[in-house]
């Protein structure tokens, strides 16, 4: 009976919108409302964000006396993604959201409860004393309804490996946030791709409860075709020159390419060599208008140009990027996802491949160039590369399908 009341309330909230919630979205929302930690593994464009976006309105509608201003905080991995998330939330008038990103300029308004959906990186929430104090403040004790960890598979960034420090150590301490806030605040963890090994890391890093509810749906992408090609040595960027040959023939009609590299240094080398080759092949075309780069150290202006090229019709045709680009970016018309060397983890690979063909194109390609030595690669990724044949035009079957089946049985 209680579950039906949540369903009825959600029907009322969305009745004037063009959105029809999926059953698994409703299940996740209901779990959070009744205080259960929940891990959702849903495909890209499934509607993960809507689960937490509707929570302030739901809590207020279900019981007006429970919270004065039900508030949801979101831990998101990238500032660029947070900017997009705040913007998207602001368009949902019927949910009554007042969204913001953590910003010391807005400190007084945030702590005074002027916002009910607050985004920040794990570093901002955990390493800045002002925001840690805010989470434990009287206002949040009385109003914090849910902690959301978006792109939760990125907790792997908090792991250190032999001989190297963690990329972003704070991701391993996300669970500390629970110790600073009111007890029994539910955690909603969201990801498009995750496997069993990483699930255990997520549970530990986020301090999820033993009664954790895992809700998943996993689909194949028949419009994406995989190919693994062995390359003699990593310095051989010539294996990518066919991309520029396509551009040289007809730059206006050529598809868009995203080339993922594991490291910033590698991305820089690929970017510079492609630009150099482009000048020789088509001196009449400015490489700056065709080839872009995106990683954590890229200047904000260049990042914005790349993001615009992936979401709108602009001139950039080739983007060289690290995994920083993969998180939550809605790439509309990318036809080729190229990996210049395997991703660190199979989860990252699946996330990045899934960015191709999101506009429903009937045939897209994911090409992985594999080098003789797979340093800094997880066992799952190494196994995938060695088992995958080099024959082209193989339909993309999600490598994590078995994980989803184990969860559902």
pLDDT in tens, 134-163: 999 999 999 999 999 999 988 988 887 666
Count the domains in the chain. 2
> In this predicted structure, what is the pLDDT of residue 83?
87
Taking only the tens place, the pLDDT of each residue in 54-102 is 999 999 999 988 899 999 999 999 887 898 899 999 999 999 999 999 9
- Dihedral, CA atoms, 222, 27, 328, 227, nearest 10 degrees? -20
Q: Is residue 11 one of the residues assigned to a domain? A: yes
- The answer to whether 225 and 395 are in contact (CB under 8 A) is yes
Burial of 284 (0-12, 13-18, 19+ CB in 10 A): exposed
Q: Are residues 347 and 254 in the same domain?
A: yes
Which of 112-121, 137-146, 305-314 comes out lowest in average pLDDT?
305-314
Query: Exposed, middle or buried by CB within 10 Å (0-12, 13-18, 19+), for 148?
Result: buried
- What 3-state DSSP class applies to 191? strand
116 vs 380, residue with greater confidence: 116
pLDDT of residue 253: 80
Average pLDDT over residues 23-34: 97
One DSSP character per residue, 115-169 reads: -SEEEE-HHHHHH-HHHHHHHTSHHHHHHEEEEEETTGGGGGGG--BTTB--SSG
For residue 399, the model assigns a pLDDT of: 46
pLDDT at 388: 67
Give the model's confidence band at 166: pLDDT under 50 very low, under 70 low, under 90 confident, else very high.
confident
What pLDDT score does 72 carry? 99
Is residue 145, in this structure, part of any structural domain at all? Answer: yes
Question: Comparing 72-86, 168-182, 314-328, which segment has the lowest mean pLDDT?
Answer: 314-328
User: Is 204 in the same domain as 278?
Assistant: no
pLDDT tens-digit readout, 339-377: 999 988 888 888 888 888 776 677 788 899 988 777 778
95 located within any domain: yes
What would you report as the CA-atom Rg of the chain, rounded to the nearest whole angstrom?
22
Same domain, 192 and 240: no
Question: Tokens 């800094």 — which residue?
Answer: 376
Check whether residue 282 and residue 300 sit in a common domain: yes
Q: What is the pLDDT averaged over residues 29-56?
A: 94
pLDDT-derived band of residue 402, with 50, 70 and 90 as boundaries? very low
Same domain, 202 and 295: no
Q: Is 291 helix (H, G, I), strand (E, B) or coil?
A: strand
Residue 391 has pLDDT above 50, yes or no: no
Mean pLDDT of the chain: 85
Residue 157 lies in a domain: yes
What residue ranges in 195-333 does DSSP mark as E strands? 213-216, 221-230, 256-260, 291-294, 318-321
Predicted confidence at residue 10, as pLDDT, reads 96
Q: Which of 216, 242, 259 is the last residue of a domain?
A: 216
Tell me: pLDDT of 404 over 80: no
Same domain, 134 and 256: no
Asked if residue 311 has pLDDT above 80, the reply is: no
Position 285 scores a pLDDT of 65
Alpha carbon distance 338, 311 (integer Å): 18
Tell me, what CATH number does 317's domain have? 3.40.50.300
Note the pLDDT of residue 69.
96
Would 13 be classed as within a structural domain? yes
Same domain, 289 and 181: no
Could you tell me if 169 and 255 lie in one domain?
no
The per-residue pLDDT for 45 is: 76
CB 244 within 8 A of CB 278: yes
β-partners of residue 365 are 225, 336
Q: Is residue 406, in this structure, part of any structural domain at all?
A: no
Strand, helix or coil for residue 222? strand
The answer to whether residues 244 and 376 belong to one domain is yes
Supply the pLDDT for residue 209: 93
Task: Indicate if 129 and 161 belong to the same structural domain.
Answer: yes
Angle of CA points 112, 116, 122, to nearest 5°: 90
338 within a domain of the structure (yes/no): yes
How many residues would you count in the chain?
409
Q: Is it the case that residue 389 has pLDDT exceeding 50? A: no
Domain of residue 167 covers 1-216
**Using CA atoms, how far apart are residues 177 and 188, in angstroms rounded to an integer?**
13
Residue 283 pLDDT > 70:
no
Q: Which of 3-7, 74-78, 347-351, 391-395 is predicted most confidently? A: 74-78
Asked whether residue 351 is assigned to any structural domain, the reply reads yes
Domain boundary residue, one of 216, 242, 275: 216
Instruction: Report CA 386 to chain centroid distance, whole Å.
Output: 26
| In a shared domain, residues 174 and 229 | no
DSSP string, 69-121: S-EEEEE-S-HHHHHHHHHHHHT-GGGT--EEE--GGGHHHHHTT--SEEEE-
Percent pLDDT > 70 in the chain is 83
* 184 lies in the same domain as 277: no
Mean predicted confidence (pLDDT) in 262-290? 79
| pLDDT computed for residue 39 by the predictor | 97
| Lowest mean pLDDT, pick from 86-90, 168-172, 274-278 | 274-278
pLDDT at 252: 77
Name which residue leads in pLDDT, 241 or 145: 145
- pLDDT band at residue 394 using 50, 70 and 90 as cut-offs: very low
Where among 189, 216, 243 does a domain terminate?
216
Q: What are phi and psi of 307, to 5 degrees?
A: -60, -40
Specify the DSSP element, H or E, that contains 33. Answer: helix 23-33
């Amino acid at each position: 009976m209680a579950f039906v009341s949540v369903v009825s309330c959600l029907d009322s909230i969305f009745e004037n919108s063009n959105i029809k919630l999926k059953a698994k979205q409703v299940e996740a929302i209901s779990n959070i409302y009744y205080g259960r930690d929940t891990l959702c593994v849903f495909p890209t464009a499934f509607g993960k964000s809507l689960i937490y976006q509707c929570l302030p309105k739901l809590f207020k509608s279900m019981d007006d006396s429970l919270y004065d201003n039900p508030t949801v905080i979101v831990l998101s991995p990238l500032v660029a993604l947070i900017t997009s998330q705040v913007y998207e939330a602001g368009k949902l008038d019927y949910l009554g959201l007042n969204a913001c990103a953590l910003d010391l300029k807005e400190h007084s308004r945030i702590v005074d409860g002027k916002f009910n959906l607050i985004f920040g990186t794990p570093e901002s929430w955990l390493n800045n004393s002002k925001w840690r104090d805010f989470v434990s403040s009287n206002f949040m004790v009385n109003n914090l309804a849910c902690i959301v960890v978006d792109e939760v598979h990125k907790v792997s960034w908090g792991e250190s490996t032999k001989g190297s420090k963690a990329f972003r150590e704070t991701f391993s301490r996300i669970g500390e946030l629970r110790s600073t806030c009111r007890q029994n605040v539910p955690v909603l963890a969201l990801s498009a791709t995750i496997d069993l090994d990483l699930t255990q890391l997520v549970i530990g890093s986020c301090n999820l409860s033993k009664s954790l509810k895992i809700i998943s749906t996993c689909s194949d992408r028949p419009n994406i075709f995989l190919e693994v090609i062995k390359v003699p040595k990593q310095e051989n960027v010539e294996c990518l020159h066919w991309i520029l040959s396509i551009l040289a023939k007809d730059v206006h009609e050529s598809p868009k390419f995203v080339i993922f590299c594991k490291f910033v240094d590698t991305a820089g080398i690929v970017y510079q060599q492609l630009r150099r080759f482009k000048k020789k092949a088509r001196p009449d075309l400015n490489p700056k208008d065709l080839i872009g780069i995106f990683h954590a150290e890229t200047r904000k202006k260049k990042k914005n140009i790349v993001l615009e090229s992936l979401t709108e019709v602009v001139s950039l045709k080739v983007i060289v990027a690290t995994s920083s680009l993969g998180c939550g970016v809605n790439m509309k018309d990318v036809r080729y996802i190229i990996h210049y060397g395997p991703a660190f983890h199979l989860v990252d690979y699946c996330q990045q491949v899934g960015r191709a063909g999101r506009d429903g194109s009937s045939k897209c390609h994911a090409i992985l160039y594999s080098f003789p030595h797979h340093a800094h690669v997880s066992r799952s990724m190494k196994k995938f590369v060695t088992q995958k044949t080099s024959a082209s035009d193989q339909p993309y079957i999600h490598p994590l399908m078995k994980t989803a089946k184990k969860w559902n049985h």
